[in-house]
Structure 1
Amino acid sequence: MSKVRLGIVGLGNIGKFHTGYLLEGKISRCELAAVSDAYAPSLEAFKAKGIPTFEKCEDMIRSGKIDAIVVATPHFLHTTLGIDALQNGLHTMIEKPISAQKADAERLFAVAKEHPKQVFAGMFQMRVEPRYIKLRKLIAEELGQLVRVNWIITDWFRTEAYYASGGWRATWKGEGGGVLLNQCLHQLDMLQWLCGLPSKVRGFCQLGQFHDIEVEDSVTCYLEWANGATGVFISSTGEAPGTNRFELVGTRGKVVLENNKLTFTRNDADMIEFSKTSKSGFAKPDVWNVEIPFDTVANAHAVLMQNFVDAILDGTPLLATGYDGMGSVELANVLLYSSLISQTVDLPMDSKAWETKLNELIANSKHQKKVVQTQVEDFTKSFRK
């Protein structure tokens, strides 16, 4: 194989974004060979370009026209379409979240492990952004032992029109969650990529606080790590203008990422050792104030896509495997589950417990929005028996 024939299923916002740079030739040794969407009008522009189109993704998967697929559909289809693609010999990249719930991710991973020759990737593009790469280096080499983590990310403001734009949006049945599973997945991925998964959490999530929806649109969550470090994660789609401030404290200082600036206030001495040895009750370590410069990536999604192609053709190691998607899904699930049962929950979480709870929420849904992507129904019946 000298070129990867790529198919994309799901032509919503992110699916169309991927097709854009692929059609512009931004990815070497790769061509957009087919697209699929259950909403027929979305296919017209691609038909006009001579690109094969499919209303049913299972037909595209079995068409022989593609070598690899990007799954960019509503959340519950990620698992079922990913399994179908892998079982039919396709290299597979899944958009976030890797699955709507941990139990589904476990099912997907089991199939991926049965097909080790196929590349199984996740679209977690924040892992290639220099600000987070430098932050990870600071944590590993300069910050000392992690003490406290605070991430306030409330600049996800969404209107009622946004939630009305798709019948699957903001429903238990169509999406499986709200701001945690949809908007915050990449931040939750970063949180566990940088700090590791916490050992226990307590979520406080408000359902439909700012919108006529049944899922969470405002959250305040407490996290605790095995070493005693604590954290708070706050997010909302109803707050304007909103804030995005990521602050991490270690025994050797504090690092803050806010307003496109990464600043490090470095203690001249480890604060614990200083406390033990100082003769003054009010003394503090001297500090250095440093602004850490970083570049930006023009298109981080394209970097991950090129890496996916290179992994298929050359065996290049993936920057983000599909398996790497578990941490963010687990955090999104467990923070919401903790809130719904009003209890602190230890990690790793019991995936069956959340699956049972989610099924109850779906069964008792009062919104009963019609899911316009009928594939959700069809594939769920086919694969989750």
Structure 2
Amino acid sequence: MIKVAIVGAGAISSRHVEGYLKFPERAKIVAVADIYEDKAAKHVSDYHLDAVSVSDYKQLLADPNIDLVTICTPPSTHAQIAIDFLLAGKHVLVEKPMAASLAECDAMIAAAKKSGKILSVVAQNRFRTPWMKLKRVLDEKLAGEILHAQVNSYWWRGHSYYDLWWRGTWESEGGGCTLNHAVHHIDALQWMMGLPTEVYAMMSNVAHDNAEVEDISMAMLRFASGGVGQITSSVVHHGQEQQLVFQCQHARLSAPWNLYASAPMQNGFPERNTEFEQNIQDFYDKFPDVEYQEHAGQIENVLTALENHGEVLIDGNEGRKTLELIVAIYKSASIGKPVRLPLAFDDPFYTKDGLMASVPRFYEKTGSVERFENNIITTSGN
């Protein structure tokens, strides 16, 4: 039985608690920590946990009864908490984004290596059936090479969203929608296609004058293969339609799953190639659906790795790749020039202090509330 501590009892932590509760024979939550101890205690009560609640995560560092720690705190705190627990001999699953800078990512990875413990970074959408199957189709190159990739990470958040005390500043949130909303789709892009070699981006804040950070960004990408891509990250899109689209040599593939293949007529105009589509669809259909979806799927992956002394699907290095692409978007949008990848260790944007000294502050954060009474969140659109 793997003993688990949850650090951070905000809205997203419920997904983790519910995920662990799907595996009662394999994992048990024994502690919940939050700076507001009553929130931690409410988790214990609401979910009928046989667990202690504490206000300071450091009270749990030396607890020999804890094997695995899930971190669900604001992004600016991820690195220190993760490093503390790793060096205390605990395995760590940390919510996205992994950290506030590449330097912090590297410190977390180093702590995991030193301790010999697992560090896994949440990217729960990799554990969705359409994404997993799309990855298999792309890996097999059934539709040929990728010519153009399109990421639409469209979300909508009201003005009051940024009133929560830790949101809306570069210091505490680490960024806006590019870092905290599009992270899942950006992670999927680099998982499926690899990192680009060049990024050219712009960003703005068009609807949230109570936040320093961006509420929309757009990036153009160039890959070593010669393919190109584009990413739109937004919290101003009504309807929240999100998709990944890969235009390949012989067909269009996307998530949510959609397939279209064209063949040229004699004059070069397209006609639909249904026979080719059927071949790809048959390959797609032969793979079973993912048994455990999203957070539960990632938690199951971590539990299996611990039980079998194996590896996790999304480790610290994978989490770092995603953040590197996001940092490149921020750098390009801030300096108004293309940015080459990988970023160097002496790049000003490598550290949090360097990034904060260089990014624009669109507005001054004017509202600050400790918590919202309504703790309901949505974690996906259509």
1:327 alignment partner in structure 2: 321
2:40 partner letter = L
Q: Which amino acid aligns with 1:241?
A: G
Question: Residues 155-192 of structure 1, C-alpha deviation per residue, up to 9 Å, x if partnerless?
Answer: x111122222x211121010110101111111111000
Give the corresponding residue for 1:304. Answer: 298
* Deviation, structure 1 residue 285: 7.3
Distance apart, 1:219 and its partner CA: 1.1
State the SS of the aligned residue for 1:310: helix
Change (3 A) 1:210 1:69: same
Distance 2:44 2:253 in 1: 50
- Listed one character per residue, the Cα deviations across residues 123-164 of structure 1 (whole Å, up to 9, x for unaligned) are 22222222112211221221211111112221x111122222
Q: Which residue of 2 aligns with 1:65?
A: 65
d(CA) in 2 for partners of 1:4, 1:296: 23
1:296–1:310: structure 2 CA closer, same or farther, 3 Å change rule?
Answer: closer
Which residue of 2 is the match for residue 94 of structure 1? 94
Contact 1:205 1:219 survives alignment (8 Å): yes
For residue 375 of structure 2, what is the aligned residue in structure 1?
none
Unaligned runs of 5+ in 1: 269-273, 374-385
SS of the residue 1:174 aligns to: helix
1:233 corresponding residue in structure 2: 231
Q: Cα distance 1:54–1:345, how it changes in 2: closer, same or farther (>3 A)?
A: same
The 8 Å contact of residues 201 and 224 in structure 1, kept in 2 or not, is answered as: yes
**Distance in 2 separating the partners of 1:172 and 1:309:** 34
Cα distance between partner residues in 2 of 1:73 and 1:306: 21
Q: Secondary structure at the match of 1:198?
A: coil
Q: Does 1:45 align with 2:45?
A: no
Q: Is 1:316 aligned with 2:310?
A: yes
- Per-residue displacement from partner, 1:2-27 (whole Å, max 9, x unpaired)? x11100101111112212343x4535
Quick one: which of 267, 273, 278 aligns to 1:287?
273
Partner of 2:217: 219
Q: Which amino acid aligns with 2:64?
A: G
The residue number in structure 1 matching 2:129 is 130
Quote the residue 1:30 is aligned against. 27
Distance in 2, Cα, partners of 1:205 & 1:168: 21
Query: 1:381: which partner in 2?
Result: none
> What is the deviation of 1:371?
9.3
The number of equivalent residue pairs is 355
Q: Is the Cα–Cα contact under 8 Å of residues 168 and 371 in structure 1 kept in the other structure?
A: no
Query: Corresponding residue for 1:7?
Result: 5
Q: 1:43 to 1:197 in 2, by over 3 A?
A: same
What CA distance in whole angstroms lies between the structure 2 residues aligned with 1:189 and 1:282?
36
Distance in 2 separating the partners of 1:283 and 1:25: 52
Q: Residue 26 of structure 1 aligns to a residue in which SS?
A: coil
Note if 1:157 corresponds to 2:156.
yes
CA contact (8 A) 1:100 1:181 kept: no
Percent identity between the aligned chains?
24
The match for 2:355 is 358
Instruction: Check whether the contact 2:13–2:72 (CA below 8 A) recurs between aligned residues.
Output: yes
1:297 & 1:178 partners in 2: Cα distance?
Answer: 32
In structure 1, the partner of 2:175 is 177
Q: CA deviation at 1:344?
A: 0.3
Describe the shift of the 1:75–1:106 C-alpha distance in structure 2 as closer, same or farther (beyond 3 A): same
Equivalent-residue separation in structure 2 for 1:111 and 1:26 (angstroms): 28
In the superposition, the TM-score normalised over structure 2's length comes to 0.84
Say which of 327, 338, 342 aligns to 1:344.
338
Pairs within 5 Å for 1:105-120: 105-116=105-116, 118-120=117-119
Give structure 2 stretches of 5+ with no counterpart: 372-382
Taking the aligned partners of 1:126 and 1:327, their CA distance within structure 2 comes to 16
Aligned residue identity for 1:160 = H
Distance, in Å, in 1 between the alignment partners of 2:326 and 2:82 is 20
Q: Is the 8 A contact 1:69 1:91 kept in 2?
A: yes
TM-score normalised according to structure 1 size: 0.84
